[in-house]
Structure 1
Amino acid sequence: MVNWTQMHDCRGDVDRVPALLERVELGDDAETWEELGYRLVLEHDLVFPAGFAALPRLVRLASRSAPARGLAGTILRRAAGHHGCDDLLADCADAIAEFRELLDRHLRSRPVDYLAAFRDSLAAREEYHWSAALGDFTDDFYHLVCPGCAVEVTIAIGDHGRYSAIRDWNLGDVDRRDLRPAPSEELSGTGRWMHETAVRDGHEALADGIAHLFGKAECPRCAGVFSIADEYTSANRPVLR
């Protein structure tokens, strides 16, 4: 049982969120959802204690309420921040596992919000860096440091090409080298889940982008070859506290 007297929202209130939750449990109300979202998750990735306290109830609503599913995902995508609520987040483990299953069923239905749900699924797996960075691969860029020579390398995966390059702010991306996509049978872990899920659900462009993202790049400066995903993860994986 949640002790709401300890669960303040963005305004420091402890009674308003439970009242709003009771209201949305009776039926979707756009104004109520808007206020609830504001009180639980402020801008700049900040989640308040009331947000984690509300998560199990949001998950229970998520199978029949798109706003509940979206707000639960928003809270989870920000769980890597410095919120000081590690104990509350740990208490949500069962709800998060339930949310992962719900999101998987939702993805199988090939919804219009597929990418958003895909990113929420990554957050529910604690892959916060991919949840924040993954796009639709129409115009995606990742900036990495070559592990061999420490030069900054731009990785492009989009309609304009799939390459590594040195970015020159006057000349653009110069000395381009084609990326080497990972064969599906060589993928493992999160990369394998991402690729298999996109393939399963008929999102070929997303699957192709993921294969390149988890493939290899050649540094234009030293010609060293490195794993894009490994270097990006090493540089961007949040340190949970």
Structure 2
Amino acid sequence: MVNWAGAYDWWSDTDRVPELLARVESGDDAEAWRELGYRLVLEHDMVSAAGFVALPRLVRLASDSASARRLAGEILERAAAHHGCDDLFADCAGAVAEFRELLDGYLRSRPADYLASFRALLAAEEQYHWAAVLGDFTDDFHRVDCPHCAVEVTIAIGGHGRYSAVRDWDLGDVDRRHLRPVPPAALAGVGRWMHGTAARDGEDVLAEGITHLFGDAECPSCACVFNVAEEYASANRPASG
């Protein structure tokens, strides 16, 4: 029996979320799902205590409910924030493992919401920074500081090109340098896993973009060559909650 005492939502209630969960468990209730969303998570990387208590029940619904998959993914993507609920999140270890397996199988079906589910899987794998920022590589831009001269470098991967540049507010991206993608066989760690999963599921644009994201870039200012993913992850990896 779950003890909801102290499991406050963002409206400081402890009784409303279990009532809403009971409603969605007995049928797909759009109004209840909307209310659960704003009681459990906030846009700016925050999740309520009630979100972690609700997570196992959301995971149990996730195989048959897109709303449950989405909300469970949003909770996990915020799990690295300073939420003060480490004990509650630790109790979700079994649910997270179950959700990870479910998402991996779901991605193999090549669903319409592939990217959102891929990002949720990244969060389940504790790759929170990539879960927060990974795009579909149609129009993606990242900013990193050159590790040698500290100038801010814009990294473009998408329809505008695949390059590093210095962004000028009047002239746009100037002094562009082509990115140097890593061969898939040379990928390691999380990059190898991300690419392998996307390639397995026929997501060719995503897989190709990952080779650029985990490849090298040249700083337009000092010509230093650096690894894009290493510099981005170093600067943006969140502290644990």
Q: Which TM bucket (shorter chain)? A: over 0.9
The corresponding residue for 1:123 is: 123
Amino acid at match of 2:23: R
The corresponding residue for 1:138 is: 138
Partner SS, residue 154 of structure 1: strand
Structure 1 segments of 4 or more deviating over 6 A?
none
Alpha-carbon shift at residue 184 of structure 1 (Å): 0.7
The percent identity for this pair of structures is: 72
The corresponding residue for 1:54 is: 54
Instruction: Quote the Cα distance in structure 2 between the aligned partners of 1:176 and 1:71.
Output: 39
Partner SS, residue 226 of structure 2: strand
Instruction: Report the count of equivalent residues.
Output: 241
Amino acid at match of 1:33: W
Partner SS, residue 5 of structure 2: helix
The corresponding residue for 1:203 is: 203
Amino acid at match of 1:228: V
Deviations, residues 114-173 of structure 1 (Å, cap 9, x unaligned): 000011111111111111111111111110111111111110001111001111111111
The corresponding residue for 2:107 is: 107
Q: Which runs of 5+ in 2 are unaligned?
A: none
Deviations, residues 84-143 of structure 1 (Å, cap 9, x unaligned): 111111111111011011011110000000000011111111111111111111111110
Amino acid at match of 1:47: V
The corresponding residue for 1:156 is: 156
Instruction: Quote the Cα distance in structure 2 between the aligned partners of 1:45 and 1:215.
Output: 28
Q: How does 1:29-108 map to 2 (within 5 A)?
A: 29-108=29-108
Instruction: Quote the Cα distance in structure 1 between the aligned partners of 2:234 and 2:45.
Output: 21
Amino acid at match of 2:49: P
Normalization by structure 2: what TM-score? 0.98
Normalization by structure 1: what TM-score? 0.98
Partner SS, residue 140 of structure 2: strand
Instruction: Quote the Cα distance in structure 2 between the aligned partners of 1:238 and 1:43.
Output: 16
Instruction: Quote the Cα distance in structure 2 between the aligned partners of 1:163 and 1:33.
Output: 41
- In angstroms, what is the RMSD of aligned CA positions? 0.9
Amino acid at match of 1:125: E
Deviations, residues 33-57 of structure 1 (Å, cap 9, x unaligned): 1111111113322211000000001
Instruction: Quote the Cα distance in structure 1 between the aligned partners of 2:34 and 2:68.
Output: 11
The corresponding residue for 2:214 is: 214
The corresponding residue for 1:28 is: 28
